[in-house]
Structure 1
Amino acid sequence: LRTDMAAHRPLPADSELVQAIAVLARAQQDAVWARGQAHNKLRSQLREFYPAILNAFAQHKQGLCSREARSILAAAPTPTMAAKLTRRRLQSLLKQAGRVRGIQAEAERLHEVFKRDYLHQLPQVEAALGHQTSALLRQLNTACDNADQLAEAVTQAFEEHPDGPVIRSFPGLAALTGARVLAEIGDDRARFASAESLKAYAGSAPVTRASGKSCKVMSRKVKNQRLAAVGYVWAFNSLTRSPGARAHYDRRRAAGDRHVAAQRNLFNRFMGMLFHCLQNSHTYDEAVAFPLASAGLRATAA
């Protein structure tokens, strides 16, 4: 640094609130990843001896991470114990998990699933697997609680930042994903000289390698991995919330891009819009962001 200081960028002058949001958002994302690992370990364990619980919550949105599944699994860590659960006991467990509607019907369904015939391990082996399942369940409970508490904290901090309304105006960004974006780009307006530099930092801008007559366009590997991860979530969620984003994605797919490449291209466009909106304190406008799609919708309505 003493000999080539001009080649290095100064540290961003982010506000104290953004630095706090960055700590909370990264911790929450780590907790989500830990929750996913704990869920996968528990699911792999249950596949060996407890298929009934997997069948019972196969269609549930959160799967084994749901409070209902964790509550029942804590009360019956083995299939033999699950088969002994009465309808009244299942209703009680569902109420303890926070369910308020369809309790009786759900208890009937679970009772029927647990009463089916399944292959069983030897009794002592099943008991040992039940103890291991309880240990893995405690890890999952801790990971779920950590993710939920950190999500509440980061959402509250994000709502206090003045850039929050601008970021949340974009389709596909909610409080949690918006906080992750803000945590990685900061609120120092002089940090990125142009939209292209922000796109390169996010990893959405491609890299062109040219030598002689050969020219290759590849995805960028050196990037902010956390910002790139939330970028794919952002692009995917926007497909159902923005007609312009959906039309842009469909055009990229028709041009030959794979799903991930089309998402990355859409994320790249969103990053350019976000840079402009933050620099000028403007909220997202669908008609300005995707004028061709907006004009087509107006013509169809007419």
Structure 2
Amino acid sequence: MADWDDGYWWSADGLRLHYRDYPGEGLPILCIPGLTRNARDFADVADRLKGRHRLILIELRGRGESAYAKDPMSYVPLTYLQDVQLLIDELKLDRFIMFGTSLGGMITALLATSNAGRLAGALINDVGPVIDPAGMARIRSYVGKSISYPTWLHAARGIAETQTSNFPDFGLHDWLAMAKRLCRLTPAGRIVYDYDMAIAEPFRVPGGGEPGVDMWPVLNALKDIPTLLVRGGLSDLLKPDTAKRMLETLPQMEEVVIGRVGHTPTLSEPPCIAGIDRLLARIAAAG
């Protein structure tokens, strides 16, 4: 039996969207995954924190069990923002914490601007107001490419071929675990990536895939709450100078750097686990 309940809500344009709901006593934690990810990306975090907190693992439109968009140009941050805000309002969350990985970190910062006083703390995983062009070019090179594999082992090896630079210390067990986070088994018995390939469409226009607003002023919405910035030491998306400016901008931000990991840390690394525990303790202390 699953440790979570399946929850659903509707977007403004009529899409049925999905989240996993893990029960717990403490403040709810909304978890928003990265561009090509799904709720499974936060399963380890939820397994560790369930009971202590309610965890709501969101699947953005076009990912996992959430419906695919009729208009692929709706796969942009401002639409995701509207979708998640509808869920927050539907669940009547008076106060909550947010964990966001990459794209999810952008959405977290954007949501902070419209939820002042409700957001108690935030984790931003390997993203900032400036996205390094090298990282964006790498994302554009793979997103939306339809690939299938005959077995999970083939999927693990295929992912390793493109991601080894981000996780140089991964072994086969780690790659298999990543494959099962990223992919799903089709009725035909093939292993495919668990997202709508059309999410790549916005990347084909100038500026596509970017938030569409200057994120430095947006970041100020996090100034008065405990925050944790997780950065991969090998990240090609979040560079040290950007992280340094973020820390200067946000006095309550702590940085945890995961050595020999690129974009993005899994949040299961021991320094991440310790950093999350410190973040939650700071949030509790702040009342």
Shorter-chain-normalised TM-score: which range?
under 0.3
Bigger helix share? 1
Say which one has the larger Rg.
1
* TM-score of the pair, normalised by structure 2: 0.24
* TM-score of the pair, normalised by structure 1: 0.23
Bigger strand share? 2
